[in-house]
């Protein structure tokens, strides 16, 4: 089985598709776009551009930016302002991590079993949040 074993394995341009199942709103949101992971001063910069399709609304553009840093056996993911977000372990077919952001809780499961295709599922819970977000990545 081919698996990512270093931060450099993620460098490149990835097509992405995303499905957000929002239990609170009772709707499913779809997104398509790209994620560019390129060299930065401290590792890789993750830059995402998507088109969101929310039922009953016009299409919207969305962006995200993170810093991915090398942690030897893992990738440390930081928000763009440098705050720590979570980590993903390298060399395993499936890995999980948790991010606590009171009053909300974020649980991620990464799946690398079809590398270089990969996915991440986020389960988010809180007083005003209850959704599951699946994102699939494919090297372009």
pLDDT digits (tens, 9 = 90+) for 87-104: 999 999 999 999 999 999
Q: Bridge partners of 102? A: none
Task: Spell out the domain ranges in the chain.
Answer: 7-139
Can you read off the two tokens belonging to residue 127? 């007083």
What are the tens digits of pLDDT across the range 59-79? 999 999 999 999 989 999 999
Mean pLDDT for 43-47 is 98
Q: How far apart are CA 16 and CA 100, in angstroms?
A: 25
Q: How far apart are CA 46 and CA 39, in angstroms?
A: 9
Q: How far apart are CA 122 and CA 5, in angstroms?
A: 22
Model confidence at 1, in pLDDT bands (50, 70, 90)? Answer: confident
What is the pTM for the complete model shown?
A: 0.94
The rounded percent of the chain whose pLDDT value lies above 90 is 96
What are the tens digits of pLDDT across the range 112-135? 999 999 999 999 999 999 999 999
Query: What homologous superfamily is domain 7-139 in, according to CATH?
Result: Calycin beta-barrel core domain (2.40.128.20)
């Amino acid at each position: 089985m081919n698996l990512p074993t270093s931060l450099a394995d993620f460098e490149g341009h990835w097509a992405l598709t995303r499905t957000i199942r929002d239990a609170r709103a009772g709707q499913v949101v779809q997104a398509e776009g790209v994620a560019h992971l390129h060299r930065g001063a401290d590792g890789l910069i993750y830059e995402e551009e998507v088109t969101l399709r929310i039922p009953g609304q016009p299409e919207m553009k969305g962006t995200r930016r993170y810093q991915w840093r090398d942690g030897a056996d893992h990738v440390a993911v930081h928000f763009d302002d440098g705050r720590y977000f979570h980590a993903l372990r390298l060399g395993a077919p499936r890995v999980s991590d948790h991010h606590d952001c009171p009053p909300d809780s974020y649980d991620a499961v990464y799946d690398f079993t079809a590398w270089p295709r990969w996915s991440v599922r986020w389960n988010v819970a809180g007083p005003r949040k209850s959704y599951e977000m699946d994102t699939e990545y494919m090297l372009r």
